[in-house]
Amino acid sequence: METVIPKTSTVLAALLKADLTTQWRNRRAVILTLIVPVIILMSWKGLVAAAGGPFVLSNSITIGLIATGLMSYSNAIARDRDKGIFQRLRVAPVAPWTIILSRLIVQMMMILAITTLVFIVGNNYDKITLTPAGYAFSYLTAIIGGAVYLSLGQMIVGRITSPETVSSTTRLVYFVFIMVGMFGELNVLGKSVHDLEHWSPYGTVKTIVAVSMEPGKWNSDTSTSLLLTIGYALVFATLGIKWFKWNTK
């Protein structure tokens, strides 16, 4: 009897269906992830006139990307690994990367959902509108930016095995990002903090997302930010993959 390996597309479809169902059953947590950027968007309404729509939108989107990539993704991976769910999947004739790819596709959908939600609320509540090119371009940069935080999440689950420690670590990093982002962006702590923030994984993502909303304003600073963003993603992902173990024992 000839041994047949299931098609990758069939395997991926089955995994994706399960992962989307899981996401749906966890919709309360998903909604909380979506709500944070909306709260920021609404509470910064007063800044729209002074700092501009893209400034407010891009900060909200960046916070949302951090919440989903850094928090949701890594905590789900840490939990499932600890429960042995990956081990059970891995004894099937499944290439291990398909297991992660399916998770990442779900996260990409979350990134698109967050970006869309911010655009809708920004339009309805803050009366911010962009050109069609601005909208299209910012989806692209949101995905690139999201990749930074997903790979940072991957790096954290690569280094840390205990789900509890992953949870507290990601919360801490999330908090640091929000603090650095808020204070740096609002320029209340002086130039050096502002510079640090500008070139940090928060600042570079925020910059490319913001400028892509007004593509005409793209300049060398934006290009540097884009390169740095891609660099961050590559470094984090390389380490995250290198360190990653499928079981916690």
Partner 1 sequence: MDQQEANILTVEGLNVSYGNFQAVQNVSFSVRRGEIFGLLGPNGAGKTSTLSAVEGLLKPESGSINVDGYNAAEKPLYARASLGVQLQSTSFQPELFVIEVLQLYGGIYGLSLTKNDVLAILRDINLEDQAFKKFGQLSGGQQQRVSLVIATIHNPKLVLLDEPTTGLDPQSRRQLWERIEAIREKGHAVLLTTHSMEEAESVCDRIAIIDHGRVIAIDTPQAMIDKHREDKEVIAVSRRGKITLEDVFIALTGKAVRA
Would you count residue 10 as binding partner 1 (CB under 8 A)?
yes
Q: Which residues of 123-147 are buried (b: 16+ CB within 10 A; e: fewer)?
A: eeebebebeeebeebbbebbbbbbb
- What x/- string results for residues 36 through 75 when contact with partner 1 is judged by CB under 8 A? ----------------------------------------
Query: Nearest distance from residue 213's CB to partner 1, in Å?
Result: 36
Other beta carbons within 10 Å of 121: 18
> Measuring CA to CA, which residue among 186, 105, 117, 88 is closest to residue 146?
105
Which residues 148-177 are close enough to bind partner 1 by CB under 8 A? none
Query: Nearest distance from residue 164's CB to partner 1, in Å?
Result: 17
Residue 214's SS3 state is coil
Would you count residue 29 as binding partner 1 (CB under 8 A)?
no
Would you count residue 28 as binding partner 1 (CB under 8 A)?
no
Q: How far is CA 148 from CA 56, 70, 158, 178, in A?
A: 20, 9, 15, 15
Q: How far apart, in whole angstroms, are the C-alpha atoms of residue 129 and residue 95?
A: 44
Give the H or E element holding residue 199. helix 191-199
Would you count residue 95 as binding partner 1 (CB under 8 A)?
yes
Query: Nearest distance from residue 113's CB to partner 1, in Å?
Result: 19
Total number of residues binding partner 1 (CB under 8 A)?
32
Would you count residue 106 as binding partner 1 (CB under 8 A)?
no
Would you count residue 87 as binding partner 1 (CB under 8 A)?
yes
Query: By CB neighbour count within 10 A (0-12 exposed, 13-18 middle, 19+ buried), where does 242 fall?
Result: exposed
Q: Which of 62, 69, 80, 233 binds partner 1 (CB under 8 A)?
A: 80
Given the rule CB under 8 A, which residues bind partner 1? 1, 3-7, 10-11, 13-15, 17-18, 21-22, 25-26, 80, 83-85, 87-95, 246-247
